[in-house]
Amino acid sequence: MEVEEWVIKLVFPNGKRLDRGKNSVGLYAFLPTEMGKILLDDKWNQGILDCVPVAFIEAFTSLMKSIENAPISSLPPMFGFLPVQKSSEAKLNAVRESIKAKLVNENIVPCKSYMEQKFFQKPSEVSRLMPAFWNILGKAREEGMNLYNISSHGSINGIIQLGGMTLLLSRESHHISWLVNWNKELRYAVAQFFLPKSTQEAIGSYSKWRPLVECLYSSVNVHDYVKILIKLLSDDRKLALAFVHFLYNSFSKDYLTTEEVDSLCNAMPLIDNYGRLMSQRNGVLVPANGSRWLKLVGSNPWRGEGYVELGEDYLHSGYYAGVLTPGKEFVNFLKNHVKVADIPFLSPPNAAIPSVSAPLTKENVFLLLDWIRNLRRYGTQIPERFLTSIK
């Protein structure tokens, strides 16, 4: 008569009995054997093996969660019951793989929390914290910080990276309002978000929270934030322009040093006269509109030498984050730190100047003489083709 129903119960040894089982065949010790060898072709054994994965999962999860008062530290040894070692027998190994596949969907990993209730999570949903961070949490708890909901975040990476968005915290208290306001102009393009001003001030009022908070968020000052932004400007023309205004106004507020601004200006991309963002350049020309080089030369002979002709976007005043940038002061800033140049402070191109083939206007005569005088004063070598054309 065929057996229509199987009832399989697995019993896990504990304490001293656990040590006795080390030399047995472990999970499969209950199977009928012949001369010490499991009869894998036996119909009875095959039927039992088919039921083992489900029975094992039920038994293992019950064992893990049934010990109410056991500390979390006592639970890891229970994982010794898992069949982690591969078997030389294909049928037994198939049982092992089935158990493994079922375990990944079970809440079996004990997680430490700051409540009496034990919590178990799926293996893929947990992370291991560094001992140093546990020390910070312990100190924060001793100081009265509420840690009851910390496990709801899932992992530290989940706190820092929310859908690809980085959360930032101002390192300097007097930078908070400035960074928060400018971040409203820039954040959606670069996915960098500062914590609200009130939150940052609350953290700052309790200095002992600072080490914990800095583990969860990136702490920056104005210079750090600018360096982050430069790497994220991509091909966004409007963002690139807003960035330069942020740089100018931050420098005006003394949040950046001259050396920092010079370095940042050298690294940032510029909008050229075609509206393109240019990162590589050998020099920068002032916009053609109103320039002396256009008045004298009539075209741009520096283009082939890697010079960027600045776009007219930089000639206008700007209003960002509630701050007005005066156009004239902005251009002077670019001249001083981006090294935007015009005649007579431009190095001459290695090209002929078409305009000198005809009589020059009085104004252009003086402009050319002033240019040559300035080149000699600074010992600048005059390219042959340029020199030949003006003789």
pLDDT value, residue 320: 93
Q: Which of 164, 222, 218 is nearest to 189 (CA)?
A: 164
Report pTM.
0.58
pLDDT value, residue 283: 92
**CA 175, CA 128: separation in Å to the nearest integer?**
34
Residues of the chain with pLDDT under 50: 1, 17-25, 151-164
**CA 140, CA 133: separation in Å to the nearest integer?**
11
Contact 99, 83 (CB under 8 A): yes
Residues whose CB is less than 8 angstroms from the CB of residue 202 and which lie 6 or more positions away in sequence, other chains included: none
- 75 Cα distance to chain centroid: 36
pLDDT value, residue 208: 65
pLDDT value, residue 256: 97
**CA 370, CA 373: separation in Å to the nearest integer?**
5
pLDDT value, residue 59: 81
pLDDT value, residue 156: 38
Helix boundaries (H) for the chain: 16-20, 43-66, 90-103, 131-142, 156-160, 176-190, 197-204, 210-216, 222-232, 237-252, 258-267, 292-297, 327-337, 362-377, 384-390
pLDDT value, residue 142: 65
Strands 165-170 and 307-309, by their bridges, are unpaired
Q: Which of 103, 91, 115 is nearest to 61 (CA)?
A: 103
pLDDT value, residue 261: 96
**CA 278, CA 203: separation in Å to the nearest integer?**
40
Q: What is the dihedral of CA 201, 203, 207, 210, to 10 degrees?
A: -130
